Chain A
């Protein structure tokens, strides 16, 4: 758990005050699964530099750990070695540590005050898992929640298989270079975020993407329904430890996919549901479906302006709020598909496109691997 500590930090952490934000989002996928370094996604997000203010940037890469793809890759921030020790004591009683190391980073101008950053490839201890009476993913989620909520100064910011989140305080292009994404990692899909919080210093864990298992979210917007959403989702064992809206979206999507087994299209109709007047104009079949979803999950409707990119093993999804109060552009070129807050974030890496369009509010755009996507 991270809280502001009056002893060495007089500024409040976020969650302790409200933060309206601007932000930029961007994503690329190669649908044939061909790996690419983080160089393109860094170029894409840095073209929208003016949408962020240097207080948060981050990336999620998919397919980046092929040699360890069977294991959960935990990325952790620690305030100090005491937090590291406490966390490792917890980890060894719950997981087998296949490999662990400090995350490789390089000095970049503009990046400072970084926490300790470590990576662990883990496998649940079979006896603990069996005794827990949970399935494997549920067990991992529970452990992540426990570390984040109960160990002071420790934060798991990535916990999926064959994917990883890299984030921190700085402009996204600086963060990308800090983690050596342009050299060290190759993935078939990347998402990125540039942040613009205005009221607090921003902190490393509060940057996007937010992740749980292999799900990741980057988000531009503000959620006015945050408390209603949080109260509902916390009934199912999730702990919103950061009090930021992006965290709650991550849990909502995890709950709807993993627990409720909804499809991505159905999830879009829950969190960005059509207005009743719009549903009224639809065909009987669609009307029946949309009314059912609105009635089944009324507390998971997300209100307020947002554009999000949801990353998962095998694909990416773009979604706007139903009034489309944030910008979003999608494009395709050969095996590549792109999503960006602004068209310039796509044109800079691919000037000639086969297709470019702006999705409507509430209309999900989903790009998956041609073969082998898990959803």
Chain B
């Protein structure tokens, strides 16, 4: 079903409406800044035209959210499972403390993507960014996988400062052969061939199935830098003296 909204639509009314309708497929038109869309949903397929507000798909527990436009901050905050696909950019703190599911972004993401991302048993969150990421990518990352493909056309480097600060689990793949900025000494970097890493192959093939204009083979046929915590030199004292 279609829900047409505008700047006057209150986010609470909208979210109550989304939860209330029987229809599993919902299209929202004219979205402009309404917050918390799809929060805690588990069984619906949402398509959003416009600019959804902060905390889109927070605590998402299944289902699929697709955005034709840019998402604002804290997309997929503490998301548990399901899928968020963004045909545009996503703002700061994308996938904040995410612990399962996938966030696929065609464009760029802002500061602190994947901050505090974690994994548990079968839950393994994945964020794929088509363009570039801002500073503090994977800050305090504890699990899951972040992939950045660097297909941005604004000439800026694939990552900004302080990538992986406090990272103690999980993995970050960057599609480049040289780091544009220094990273902490507690993080190890290995160069890998995209097409030779099974994990990366299946992620990028799946990602490209959502964005028809992208070619998985082309994207995989390149060097990637794989970033992960150095077990011989881990973070010990980020917060306290314990």
Contact = CB atoms under 8 A, between A and B. Distances in A.
A342 B72 CA distance: 7
Interface string A312-331: 00000000000110010100
Contacts of B35: 50
Contact of B92 (A43, A281, A324): A324
A47 B33 contact: yes
A361 to B, nearest CB: 7
Given A343-B51, A344-B53, A327 B11 contact: no
B68 to A, nearest CB: 13
Contact of A360 (B70, B72, B73, B134): B134
Nearest to A326: B92
A324 B181 CA distance: 17
A278 B51 contact: no
B134 A348 contact: no
Interface in B162-208: 181-182
Nearest to A44: B7
Interface string A328-356: 01000000000000111101100000001
Interface in B43-82: 50-51, 53-54, 70, 72-73
Contact of B154 (A43, A323, A357): A357
Contact of A324 (B50, B53, B72, B111): B111
Contacts of B54: 342
Contact of B135 (A48, A342, A361): A361
Interface string A291-320: 000000000000000000000000000000
Contacts of B92: 324, 327, 358
A277 interface: yes
B141 interface: no
Contacts, number: 65
Contacts of B33: 47-48, 342-345, 347-348
Contact of B32 (A275, A277, A347, A361): A347
Contacts of B111: 323-324, 360-361
B32 A358 contact: no
Say which size band chain A's interface belongs to: 20 to 34
Given A344-B53, A348-B33, A361-B135, A281 B91 contact: no
A47 B32 contact: yes
Given A47-B7, A324-B92, A327-B92, A347 B51 contact: yes
B107 to A, nearest CB: 10
B114 interface: no
Nearest to B136: A323
A274 to B, nearest CB: 9
A324 B134 contact: yes
B161 interface: yes
B135 A343 contact: no
A73 to B, nearest CB: 32
A46 B7 CA distance: 9
Contacts of A323: 111, 135-136
B226 interface: no
A324 B110 CA distance: 10
Contact of B91 (A275, A345, A358, A361): A358
A265 to B, nearest CB: 18
Interface of A: 43, 46-48, 50, 275, 277-278, 281, 323-324, 327, 329, 342-345, 347-348, 356-358, 360-361
Interface of B: 7, 11, 32-33, 35, 50-51, 53-54, 70, 72-73, 89, 91-92, 110-111, 134-136, 154, 160-161, 181-182
Given A48-B33, A358-B92, 20 more contacts: A43-B7, A281-B181, A323-B111, A324-B110, A324-B111, A327-B91, A329-B91, A342-B53, A342-B54, A343-B70, A343-B91, A344-B51, A347-B32, A347-B33, A348-B33, A358-B91, A358-B110, A358-B134, A360-B111, A361-B111
Listed from nearest, the 8 A-B pairs whose CB atoms lie closest are A344-B33, A324-B111, A344-B32, A347-B51, A348-B7, A344-B51, A343-B51, A348-B32
